[in-house]
Structures are given as structure tokens and as C-alpha cells.
Amino acid sequence: MKTRWTNVTAVTPSAEVASDLLMVGERIAGLVPAGTAVGEGWQVIDGSGAILFPGSIDLLQHGYGEHLYNDTEQGAVAANSQILLKNGVTGFLPSISCLPPKDMGPTLNRLSAQTREATGARALGVHSEGPVFGSPGAHNPENIQLPSIELAERMLAATDGRLKAVTLAPEKPGAEGFIRTLKAAGVSIHFGHSRARAEDIPRYVSWGIDAVTHMYNVMPTEPPGNMGVHVVSLTDALIAEPTLALGLICDGIHVDPQLVRLLAQLPADRVFLETDAMKYAGTPGATFEFYPGYVVTSAPGKAVREQKGGGLCGSSLTPDEAMRNYLKFSGKDLARVANATSLVPARVLGMERDLGSLEVGKLADFAVLDRTTLAVTATWVGGKELWRQSA
């Protein structure tokens, strides 16, 4: 099948381009000026002025809709791969939290198997947020484990090549071997839930850390000095590392919009959006038990909060809400936003050859956006329309 989109604006990594998008089969074959002769046999789609935006790739998602991935309910990943299409998502990593050691391996095994059942948005693998933490945040502190080569090997064996990301605290003894073992297997290493000292960050990064999980969240700051000199904080040290991609929960609650604007001043390859979504994201919300005795409440457009103390426990953010928030908070254009929603996440996973942008040769994964509201009206994956907003 050869398809030509006309009367559209395509968002590329560098600009918004008024061009026709050509697709042959599942891949992008060209971006050409309107009216360019490309031969016969093309199915023409008039976009009526719509914006073609690269599909969002969410690297941290603990749940969505009716499902919490820790529970590995049958068909959960397949169901959410369909639901996420309405939010312009074409790729995601279902994620687990810190689980009891006896449950972690079997849960990773079941979740990894479920990623193969996705027929909507691509389930690109799994993300294990933990169990190597220095600070639990909203995770169960009883389930934190020490890193070791053996633990890394067990996690890799349980996931059968589907482990794509692990969030960890590198200051824990044994972390270097743990990180290097995972990296050798192609796993992306994300810094997070850490009490690391700022001066140690360059050394930890040299072990193979690629990214930061939910920048500014669960990251202690240093008390001010008594000489009027700014004390370098953990977040300062992370910003100073040019190879680190910084994950951001862009709901305006987890990170103040002014800090979002600060991060947006970094090079385009430094920031990516992740939802840290929980069960009931994308729904009217509800109260549920994240782990035994820890009850939280989800509500649309809000952070998920623990019922007793009000602490943060992930978000109810949808990826298209995050995209529109980043555009508003950052003051940047759609091309810059597309880097954060799509291309940088693809690079973090080492999948940018095929995913993450509207460029020749890549898979035709994109959302069709209303030009005025930037609402998602359709989502295409691999050159096929898998979801369209009903009339």
C-alpha cells in the first residue's frame, strides 16, 4: 500500500513542515512539497489542515485504565495498548514497582509475556522501577533489595530479552556490577529514588547510566551553606551531565512549571516526558490499593495521592495532556515538544533508527492532531490507522 497525506503539517525533529507525507507499507517514504509528482498508485488522504505528530513513547507507566501492571491481570497490556491509541501513544513500557523478592521474577515474566500480545500501541518491553533504591518514595520500603550481578541475571532471565529499562540508586554497594551486567544485555539504566551525593554523579554515569527517572521527584536537596554560596544539589549534578536524558512528569504538580521552563533551555536531546501513570489514568478516577495497606486516589488532571498523608504516588496524566502541558510550560514549539515526547525516549531505548520521529525510513507511527486544540483525532501505527475519534 502506498499512501500520501496531503494538506497537513508534519512535525519533524527540527521544524513544523507544510509537506505531504508519503508512506509505503509500514514506513515513511518521503516528505515532499505539495504537488510534487511521485508517480501513480497512491491512496491520497486529505488531512484538512491537520498536524501529523510523531507518536508518543511513554517509558514509565505503572498502569492505565482499569489495570495496574503489578497485578499482571490477563490481557492487561493488550487492552491498554488499544486504549492508549486515543492519547496518541504508539509505544510504551509497562512498568513494575518494588515488589516482594519472591514475586518480582514471576511478575516480570508474566508482564514480559503480555507485551507480545499488544496489537495497538507498541509494548516495547518492560521497565522495572526498582528494586534497588536509596529512597522508597511511594514504593514499599520492605521490598528494596541490594544490587548484585546475580540479581541482574535473575531479572534478565525472567524477562526473556524484554527488559528495556531499570531505575536504580547507584550509590548502593554492588551497583556497578549490577549496572554493567544489565547494560551488556542492552537494558537502559535510569537514575532514580537515590540519595547519591552530587560529587559522585560523574562516576556513576561512567558506569552506563542513560537517563533520569522523574527529575526533581524523590531527589533530596542539600541544606544551604552559611557563606551565601549555592550548594550543588543532586539535580544540579544531573543537569551538568551532558549525556543524561532527564525524564519529566509534566502535570504541573510533580514539577513546578518554572522548573519545566528551566529544563527546556537545555539541548533538545536532554529532556523526555514520562507519565508515571497509575491505575485509572485516563478514566474518571477511583481509589485503589497500590500495595497492601497503601491506599491511593486517582483523579483526572491530578497527581495520584496517598489517601492518608496526601503524598504523591505517580500521576493520572495522559501522554497527550503531558504534550500540551510541555508546550505551554516550556514556551517552545511543537518540534521541540516532539523531541521530548517521541525522539528522546526512542534514543534512550536505542530504538531511534525505527521510532521517534517523522523521517524517511522510520516506521509510520504518528498521531493526527487538531490544528486548533492539539487534541488527538486519529493514531496510526506502522502505516495503519488503528484509532479514529468518532464523529
What does the alpha-carbon distance between residue 355 and residue 57 come to, in Å, rounded to a whole number?
A: 9
Q: CA torsion 347→349→355→356, rounded to 10°?
A: -50
> Do the Cβ atoms of 180 and 208 come closer than 8 Å?
yes
- Kindly give the pairing relationship between strand 2-6 and strand 43-46: parallel
Mean pLDDT across 364-390: 97
- How far, in whole angstroms, is CA 380 from its chain's centroid? 19
pLDDT of 93 reads: 98
- Kindly give the pairing relationship between strand 286-291 and strand 188-191: unpaired
Q: Look over the chain and give the mean of its residue pLDDT values, rounded to a whole number.
A: 96
Which distant-in-sequence residues (6+ apart) come within 8 Å of 303 by Cβ? 251, 253, 254, 312, 313, 314, 315, 316
Domains observed in the chain: 2-53+357-388 (2.30.40.10), 57-348 (3.20.20.140)
Dig out the grid coordinates for 7 from the structure: 494538506
Task: Kindly tell me the burial class for residue 223, based on how many C-beta atoms sit within 10 Å of its own C-beta (0-12, 13-18, 19 or more).
Answer: exposed
What does the alpha-carbon distance between residue 142 and residue 202 come to, in Å, rounded to a whole number?
A: 29
What does the alpha-carbon distance between residue 279 and residue 289 come to, in Å, rounded to a whole number?
A: 10
What does the alpha-carbon distance between residue 68 and residue 71 come to, in Å, rounded to a whole number?
A: 6
> Do the Cβ atoms of 391 and 377 come closer than 8 Å?
no
Q: What is the per-residue pLDDT across 159-194, written as a single tens digit (0 to 9) for each? A: 999 999 999 999 999 999 999 999 999 999 999 999
What does the alpha-carbon distance between residue 303 and residue 192 come to, in Å, rounded to a whole number?
A: 19
Cis amide leading into 94 (omega within 30): no
Q: What is the per-residue pLDDT across 45-58, written as a single tens digit (0 to 9) for each? A: 999 999 999 999 99
- pTM comes to 0.96
Q: What is the per-residue pLDDT across 229-244, written as a single tens digit (0 to 9) for each? A: 888 999 999 999 999 9
Q: Lowest mean pLDDT of 252-266, 275-289, 291-305, 361-375, name the range.
A: 291-305
Element (H, E) at 203: helix 201-206
DSSP label at residue 342: I
Element (H, E) at 152: helix 149-159
pLDDT of 70 reads: 97
Element (H, E) at 107: helix 101-115
Q: What percent of the chain stands above pLDDT 70?
A: 100
pLDDT of 308 reads: 87
Task: Kindly tell me the burial class for residue 69, based on how many C-beta atoms sit within 10 Å of its own C-beta (0-12, 13-18, 19 or more).
Answer: buried
